[in-house]
Amino acid sequence: MIPEIGHVALILGLVIAVVQAAFPLAGSLSGNRPWMTMARPLAYGQFTFLTIAFACLVQAFLTSDFSVLYVAQNSNTLLPDIYKVSAVWGGHEGSLLLWVLFMAAWGAAVAALSKNLPLAVIARVLSVQGMIAVGFLLFTLLTSSPFERLFPVPPEGRDLNPLLQDFGLAIHPPMLYMGYVGLSVAFSFAIAALIGGRLDAAWARWSRPWTTVAWVFLTIGIALGSWWAYYELGWGGWWFWDPVENASLMPWLMGTALMHSLAVTEKRGAFKSWTVLLAIFAFSLSLLGTFLVRSGVLTSVHAFATDPERGLFILIFLCMVIGGSLALYAWRAPEVSEGGRFDLVSRESALLGNNLLFVAFTVLVLFGTLAPLIYEAFDWGKISVGFPWFNKMFVALAPFLAILLGIGPAARWKHDEPGRLAKTLWIAFALSVLVLAIMSLPMFSGGHLWVPIGIALAAWLLFSHITIVRDRLKNKRGFDGWLADLRGNGRSFYGMVTAHMGVAVFIVGVTMVSNFQGEEDVRMSPGDSHELAGYRFEFLGAEKAPGPNYRADRGHFLVFDGDKQIAELFPEKRSYLGGGMPMTEAAIDPGFFRDIYVSLGEHVGDGDWALRVYYKPYVRWIWLGAILMALGGSLAVSDRRYRTARVRSTAPLGGATARA
């Protein structure tokens, strides 16, 4: 009964979405006020019904109702309760339901938190949200309903894929979806602005915090995925340039460009059409990502069971969204004048550089990801693009981005004197060159060319941002002044600094781990020792260890640094009772400056094991960098001007708004 309620709620959600897509928009065009005021209640209604649908599915999982096909495929009575809940989005149907639920949640949040927006704008934004929701709800109901029944009812479910029985992966998809779907808000704002023909600084100010919040979720989601892959897959890698990973990275890259471009549009009224285009592309790449993940057109190590028919549906939807929004753009954008002139040496130029580099990198990742499809379409053979290619592309572009990142925040809007800029930054520059020289010494660089470059770039970011912060504080009186700044309009500034420091920390992590990591496959008998990167691994043997829903072989290792024992590790090789699927559970001794990592391979007889040992210096800095970026984004969103903007009535803001 309950699954049927869920199904009906889903259908009602679709009906509401259809109304939401049509009436408020029509009302905003014809000036019909009652139709426009329908937008907010409809958004709340859609959210309510999808919440009911989602709750019904959660209930089916918690009670192990295997008469529901999706539950039988993804759950098991032995599964711990927390994973019964996360199993809701462990498969295609449930993740799609989570996607539409989040979509409705963002819509409801926009409805609730933008009280001061002109009614026509909110009506259009929510209508566009409704259109996207219609697409996804149709997709869910027609090709992948999670409420389908199964008869005869099996006594036991097939179990959740063991790889997904993990805390990191339980929260990774929700975070990622929040990010993906959050970009739809930026998209809706852009489309609404195109429809209304009003692209100004006020529009940028409205959509900026939403974009930043979506970007924060996306950042956390990607970092969680990377962290999960690192400890759960047992390969010790943190990024594989796999199509599925690229699918999440592309919207992030585009979203980052969009965030920076929105800053220019808000402050200076420039880059308007460009910003709109970025918003369209960022969300389109989210959709493309969904298509790539769900259709199975690309070989991926992360690929789960896929269905070409579903791929076709998303592809058609994708074409409609991209085609429709670009057509609208081509029709309306020429009417938008480009305000805000600026000189070659200015913050606008630096941000333009940032945008071009991010877009270039996105295009490269997109090309590398789709190259196998392109080759196959032209009958040039079946290829795969090796990850060294992606690494090369990243390493080729990243230094320019880092250099620019040190200059941009120090430059003035509109026009800056090269002399003044050089005077501000020369100390930071000199110190970075010093770091470069020191790190080039063989005792630090270990003969790796990229070590001094990477560390010097990180140092450049650190020193230039210290300079920028110092300059800002010069005009604030002491600590109290700083506190007042932090309470007031300074948060977006400090958020920016925090996020940029995240980039520096990330660069250090990537540089160190890529150049100094150690990895070895060895065969060890109980009592054997093996040395790697100065650490001695002693294998004491493996024994059987039962778990709640699996059997495991648990290895026992002691790790020594010289004569001192620094860690005791218990890596496992598990075999899950539900599906009989084997899985490696690596053991990690985490540290701020290095991880030590052991994963069991196979039992090769007589108590001997084939296993893999790793030394991963500074690997945590990669995720620490991502955390700082996300923190920076959160800090920026909490800036007072977004809070007060909610209370204040919005007349078009400031002089930069003027449509020159």
Positions touching another protein (CB under 8 A) are 161, 163, 233-234, 296-299, 301-306, 341, 343-344, 352, 356, 360, 364, 367-368, 371, 375, 381-386, 388-389, 392-393, 396-397, 521-523, 551, 575, 577, 579-584, 599, 601-604, 608, 610-612
User: What is the closest distance, in whole angstroms, from the C-beta atom of residue 343 to another protein in the complex?
Assistant: 7
CA distances from 487 to 469, 480, 495, 498, 636 (A): 16, 11, 12, 16, 12
Residue 470 C-alpha from the chain's centroid: 32
User: Of 558 and 581, which has the nearer Cβ to another protein?
Assistant: 581
Residue 601, Cβ density class (10 Å: 0-12 exposed, 13-18 middle, ≥19 buried): middle
User: Of 392 and 646, which has the nearer Cβ to another protein?
Assistant: 392
CB 372 within 8 A of CB 299: yes
User: What is the C-alpha separation between 496 and 304, in angstroms, rounded?
Assistant: 37
**Dihedral sign, Cα of residue 155, residue 160, residue 166, residue 170:** negative
User: What is the closest distance, in whole angstroms, from the C-beta atom of residue 520 to another protein in the complex?
Assistant: 10
User: Of 317 and 342, which has the nearer Cβ to another protein?
Assistant: 342
Q: Among all chains, which residue has been given the structure tokens 């991502």?
A: 626
* 606 φψ region: left (φ > 0), alpha (ψ -120 to 50), beta (else): left
User: What is the closest distance, in whole angstroms, from the C-beta atom of residue 83 to another protein in the complex?
Assistant: 16
User: Of 375 and 560, which has the nearer Cβ to another protein?
Assistant: 375
User: Of 187 and 227, which has the nearer Cβ to another protein?
Assistant: 227
**Upper half-sphere CA count for residue 267 (Cβ side, 13 Å):** 14
User: What is the closest distance, in whole angstroms, from the C-beta atom of residue 116 to another protein in the complex?
Assistant: 36
User: What is the closest distance, in whole angstroms, from the C-beta atom of residue 81 to another protein in the complex?
Assistant: 23
Element (H, E) at 501: helix 491-516
Task: Give the pair of three-digit tokens for residue 544.
Answer: 């059987």
Task: Give the pair of three-digit tokens for residue 356.
Answer: 């071009």
User: What is the closest distance, in whole angstroms, from the C-beta atom of residue 349 to another protein in the complex?
Assistant: 8
The residue type found at 112 is A
User: Of 196 and 311, which has the nearer Cβ to another protein?
Assistant: 311
User: Of 476 and 659, which has the nearer Cβ to another protein?
Assistant: 659
User: What is the closest distance, in whole angstroms, from the C-beta atom of residue 12 to another protein in the complex?
Assistant: 33
Strands (E), 12-117: none
User: Of 174 and 578, which has the nearer Cβ to another protein?
Assistant: 578
User: What is the C-alpha separation between 543 and 125, in angstroms, rounded?
Assistant: 60
User: What is the C-alpha separation between 616 and 433, in angstroms, rounded?
Assistant: 27
In sequence order, what are the beta bridge partners of 605? 608
User: What is the C-alpha separation between 507 and 501, in angstroms, rounded?
Assistant: 10
User: Of 222 and 345, which has the nearer Cβ to another protein?
Assistant: 345
User: What is the closest distance, in whole angstroms, from the C-beta atom of residue 538 to another protein in the complex?
Assistant: 18
User: What is the closest distance, in whole angstroms, from the C-beta atom of residue 209 to another protein in the complex?
Assistant: 29
CB 189 within 8 A of CB 276: no
